[in-house]
Structure 1
Amino acid sequence: MATAGQAHVDFLEAAMAQAQQQREGWNTQALSRFLWALVTMEAGGHYSQALFEQAASLCTRHPHVFFARPADMASIMWPFGYARHYDPALYSVAAAMLEQRPEQHGLSLAQTAALLVPLAQMQHACPAACRQVAESLKLSLAQQSSEASFATLSSLLWSLMLLGYLDTALLQAAFSRDQPDPEAVKVADSLPRDFREHALKVWRQQTTEKQVISDYQQKVLQALSDMGLEPQIERKTRDWLFSIDVCLKLGDVLVAVEVNGPLHYSASLPWRPTGKKLLRNAFLARRGYRVVDVAWWQWERVRVDQDRAQQYLRDLLEDAVVTPLDQDHWAAGAGLHGS
């Protein structure tokens, strides 16, 4: 039914009510399929916080049923993370499992990533779990037959970074494992300079052409323009690695106005920023920008009243300008491309 787009809420509510009353027939596989149906609904714009909460409660109340094997938790946590549903109790159970050596539980690195990625995306603090994952990953990388695929390694390193865990030895081991082929480097270096410059120009043109500007973004841009400012939409950073939703200058201060829709926050209440969004903010700050977040639910409250909308933006900009920015954030790459 879910695959066909017919996963009706009333049907799923009845199924969950049955599971709460009597668990006969409900195991990890059944619950995983139920959660997959919820994820399918969420992707179609029908998110049910109540059903996710009930499923999480079922897991934490009966861990011997749904987490009989450590690998079972990976299959349960993935849909919660994918749907951006944050349940502190459930996420704490996952973190506690990772605090013990994952490989001793029979968890593969891929399953470890399936547990850690949701924790990172929902910013669930778990320093002890991060430390154990990092140690396990270093041991794996030290083996010539490491099971760490590029995708798994990237997911684990990305998650550790989102959670603020820095292990320089791990980074060195990871980055030294897959060095570029020297012959390939020679070929790239031997290409004519004009050819490389043309390729770079084409790449920049393609990245610009593929940009999608939302109506929400346009309205924030218009509101800033009506305030007498000179905002620019989708302006590239100098290194061309980031495109800023709305960019402007206040005196000598560069401001990145990030117009954040629902996907930048948890689906569950209270809304909390995702790790991915916070990481983007950090990257922009490293390039010398003061980052202003226009949260979608806050904009919804003020957008119908021009004066309120402008005052809301004015308050955000004033806070951004007076907030101290660490000196090392003013990196050499700061500034607009071409400015």
Structure 2
Amino acid sequence: MTAPARAITTPAVAARRPGWPRFKRILRTVAIYGLLLLLSSFILLPISWMVTAALKPDTAPVFTFPPDWFPTEHFRLETFSEALFNPLNPYILYAFNSFLLCAVNIVGAVISNSLIAYPFARLRFRGREKMFGLLIATMLLPAPVLLLPQFLIFNELGWYGADLPGIGTYASYLPLVVPSFLGNAFFIFLLRQYMRTIPKELDEAARVDGASHLQIYRHIILPLTAPVLVVVAVFTFLGTWNDFFGPVIYILDPQRYPVATALATEVTKVGTKWNIVMAANLVAIIPPLIIYFLSQKRLIGGIASVGIRG
């Protein structure tokens, strides 16, 4: 008779505390948000100082140590209206000039870059890849290298400080807006990569119905590339709104300055009212913020789609 087999037992595993995974997840979330708040403070603190300086009266010192933070002892909301409608420095006029430049450049960038990208993406012709490679190679040229040749060309055309009948000194905007109608290598690359992902069957079906290339571009390709066109429009707006060197070089009439150039030249003057300058700076950052928040989903989606599909 054999002895009964003894049951093999294993040591009991200590049960984990049921709340530990949840506590660990909460701790990780708190650490991430704390780090984000710390990093964002490097951006928010200067803006907070700008708000404080803008709300100070003319007689109050702006540059103090330690710096004053909002709310100040005496503050004036009228500083913003003075900054916008000051007859000597009408920042509302400078903002209008910036919006005018942005609108024309956006129209030019959307039309020209999409038109140039279309044949590179949808048509087959001899030397297409070589021409596209040459176009991309132009991105290697630094922008300052092109300043002198561009200036010589525009000066020869009579656009430097131009004053033409009907539009007056607004003609000096020609060197700032005409290049947007001639294409940009980076934008052409983005649009070409996205257009290549659109099924060719759509073009073939349209050609069967008798559509021309221009009709295919207008009614099929252009609507489908809307996410990338938003990227082109937003980047063009930001580049034009923040442009300083272009207006300084080509515009001779201070009344035609855009807001970025007007703000930069104001700080070099003697007796600058810093509270008005800071108020104007705060007003100047509002349009880019609005544009970004309105187009945030399409902007991020357009960039991501080019990276994934292209």
User: How does the TM-score come out when normalised to structure 1?
Assistant: 0.24
Comparing both chains, which one has the higher relative contact order based on Cα–Cα distances under 8 Å and sequence gaps of 6 or more?
2
Structure number having the greater helix percentage: 2
Bigger Cα Rg: 2
Structure number having the greater strand percentage: 1
